[in-house]
């Protein structure tokens, strides 16, 4: 049976939507590919009648997926022919030589082995630095008079099949009710909204997207295992990165002095520290101090290097629950690494997501219908970070007491702004939204999320007051 929302999405977003179901996605079984790449491939191998060329897609993945190719170097050197890969590449400018170098981690190609010619960069400005996904064509060359060869990136096709226009996307919002729009967002996150228990639960679920749309937003979510935390942050956007386990160092996170290279915070728009209980922190006091400065101001200093970024930090962890599915310990952060047992550090996080109210992944939550192509969706979310009108509207709507704590105010404004972007992307002035809608769906959840942080800090250190400023709608 065709769902009414299917027809609506297909009609309103004819070029940007894609039919998502388990049958189509089964073609990727056995391959490790993020969703924004899967949707790009499905679109490429689907005809105008929504028929998927499974054989063509399987052949393309088998022959071109980088982490499926074990002999790339050998093929380039011995066969004297180009190699085409579907790959994630990491680009880093080499200051000493003036060249742009790249690596293909999944294919074992290292930074000091690979270069990008100037003519390729001219047509692809995204290759000037950082991580990008695309279809790459590689060749092997031994320059004249040189003993060492080099792998060249001869061609590059980016995963940007759309011209992304936020205003075009926002203009469609009025054709959906709020409930339809939330269901539409959940479908675009690759979940089935009909599998959720309530509208409140749906709103909580899409709060995971807040860090996708708002710069320098720092959040925490604790939830039981199996609620899809890792999936959302690993699969929906190439602009984010997930650190899961291992050791976090200042060099990895902020800046590597020995290599003179930026850390993850300057490479991505949001960074998720997953399974936070298992992560180890090197030189804890030094890293904690640098991180406090960054979370407060968006800038940091390492030795003589001063860095800035609008990357948000998302801390993800598990939490034990009782038989009523409520936290066993009233101190939610009790199981976190001692690195986080610093009230001044916790105070710099803007809000907290109560993940225990979200459902465990089950069959009825698997999408079966139309949603936005994840690649397009991730581009739209990323572009929203740069639209200034949303925060201006929030500032104009709020009545903030003069004695309000600045960190509380900043947190509530940022979370409210992020909700406004997600739920009401068409809003550009205060006339575009009712005060009732803004209060109910933007301000109240922002106050609640910040309130949890304040309450939890007060349980650790009684000098921190468990109260929020009386912020209201003007």
Please report, for the chain, the start and end positions of each structural domain, with discontinuous segments joined by +: 66-158, 215-358, 387-473
Task: Tell which residue, 235, 239, 233, has the closest CA to residue 221.
Answer: 233
Determine contact, residues 102/111, Cβ cutoff 8 Å. Answer: yes
Count Cβ atoms below 10 Å from residue 227 Cβ, excluding itself: 20
What is the average per-residue pLDDT within 328-339? 90
Report whether pLDDT(281) > 70.
yes
Report how far apart, in Å, the C-alpha atoms of 278 and of each of 243, 275, 316, 344, 383 are: 11, 6, 11, 22, 33
Cα dihedral 111, 114, 117, 120 in deg (nearest 10): -80
Q: How far apart are CA 189 and CA 197, in angstroms?
A: 17
Sorting pLDDT into bands at 50, 70 and 90, what band is 1? Answer: very low
Sorting pLDDT into bands at 50, 70 and 90, what band is 62? Answer: confident
- pLDDT 10s digits, 143-177: 776 778 999 999 998 876 566 899 999 999 999 99
What is the average per-residue pLDDT within 77-81? 87
Give the whole-number percent of the chain exceeding pLDDT 70: 98
Q: Residue 262: its pLDDT value, please?
A: 86
What's the CATH class of domain 215-358?
alpha beta
Indicate the average pLDDT of the chain. Answer: 91
Give the whole-number percent of the chain exceeding pLDDT 90: 62
- pLDDT 10s digits, 27-43: 888 777 888 788 888 87
Q: How far apart are CA 138 and CA 123, in angstroms?
A: 16
Report whether pLDDT(218) > 90.
yes
Of 252-266, 283-297, 422-436, highest mean pLDDT: 422-436
What's the CATH class of domain 66-158?
mainly beta
- pLDDT 10s digits, 447-461: 999 999 999 999 999
What is the average per-residue pLDDT within 64-84? 84
Report whether pLDDT(2) > 60.
no
What is the average per-residue pLDDT within 297-323? 93
Burial class of 361 by CB neighbour count within 10 A (0 to 12, 13 to 18, 19+): middle
Token couple for 331: 């101190």
Q: Residue 162: its pLDDT value, please?
A: 61
What is the average per-residue pLDDT within 92-98? 85
Of 32-36, 87-91, 106-110, 210-214, highest mean pLDDT: 210-214
Q: How far apart are CA 52 and CA 299, in angstroms?
A: 47
What is the average per-residue pLDDT within 205-224? 97
pTM for the whole structure:
0.86
What is the average per-residue pLDDT within 350-370? 93
What is the average per-residue pLDDT within 358-387? 92
Q: Residue 433: its pLDDT value, please?
A: 97
Cα dihedral 32, 37, 38, 39 in deg (nearest 10): 160
The residue with greater pLDDT, 347 or 52, is 347
Q: Residue 161: its pLDDT value, please?
A: 55
Query: How many C-alpha atoms does 104 have within 13 Å on its Cβ side?
Result: 31
């Amino acid at each position: 049976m065709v769902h009414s929302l299917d027809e609506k999405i297909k009609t309103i977003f004819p070029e940007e939507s894609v039919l998502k179901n388990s049958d189509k996605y089964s073609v990727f079984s056995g391959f490790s590919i993020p969703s924004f790449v899967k949707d790009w491939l499905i679109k490429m191998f689907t005809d105008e009648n929504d028929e998927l060329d499974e054989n063509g897609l399987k052949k393309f993945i088998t022959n071109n997926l980088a982490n499926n190719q074990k002999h790339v170097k050998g093929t380039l050197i011995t066969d004297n022919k180009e190699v085409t890969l579907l790959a994630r590449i990491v680009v880093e400018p080499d200051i000493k030589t003036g060249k742009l170098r790249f690596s293909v981690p999944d294919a074992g190609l290292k930074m000091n082995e690979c270069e990008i010619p100037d003519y390729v960069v001219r047509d692809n400005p995204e290759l000037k630095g950082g991580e990008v996904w695309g279809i790459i064509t590689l060749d092997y060359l031994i320059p004249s008079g040189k003993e060492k060869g080099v792998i060249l990136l001869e061609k590059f096709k980016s995963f940007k099949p759309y011209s992304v226009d936020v205003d075009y996307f926002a203009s469609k919002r009025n054709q959906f009710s709020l409930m339809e729009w939330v269901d539409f967002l959940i479908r675009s996150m690759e979940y089935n909204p009909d599998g959720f228990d309530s509208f409140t639960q749906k709103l909580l679920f899409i709060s995971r997207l807040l860090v996708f749309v708002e710069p320098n937003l720092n959040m925490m979510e604790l939830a039981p295992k199996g609620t899809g935390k890792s999936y959302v942050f690993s699969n929906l956007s190439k602009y984010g990165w997930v650190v899961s386990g291992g050791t976090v160092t200042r060099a990895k996170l902020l800046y590597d002095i020995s290599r003179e290279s930026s850390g993850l915070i300057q490479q991505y728009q949001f960074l998720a520290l997953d399974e936070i209980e298992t992560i180890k922190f090197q030189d804890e006091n030094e890293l904690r101090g640098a991180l406090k400065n960054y979370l407060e101001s968006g800038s940091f200093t390492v030795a003589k290097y001063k860095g800035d970024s609008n990357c948000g930090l998302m801390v993800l962890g598990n939490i034990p629950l009782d038989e009523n599915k409520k936290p066993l310990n009233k101190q939610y952060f009790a199981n976190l690494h001692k690195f986080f047992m610093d009230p001044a550090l916790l105070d710099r996080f803007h809000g907290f997501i109560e993940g225990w109210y979200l459902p465990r992944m089950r069959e009825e939550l698997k999408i079966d219908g139309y949603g936005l192509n994840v690649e397009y969706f991730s581009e739209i979310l990323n572009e929203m970070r740069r639209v200034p009108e949303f925060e201006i509207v929030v500032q104009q709507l709020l009545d903030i007491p003069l004695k309000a704590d600045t960190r509380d105010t900043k947190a509530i404004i940022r979370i409210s702004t992020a909700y406004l972007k997600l739920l009401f992307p068409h809003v550009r002035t205060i006339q575009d939204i009712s005060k009732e809608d803004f209060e109910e769906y933007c301000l109240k959840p922002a106050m609640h999320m910040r309130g949890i942080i304040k309450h939890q800090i007060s349980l650790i250190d009684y000098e921190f007051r468990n109260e929020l400023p009386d912020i209201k709608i003007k």
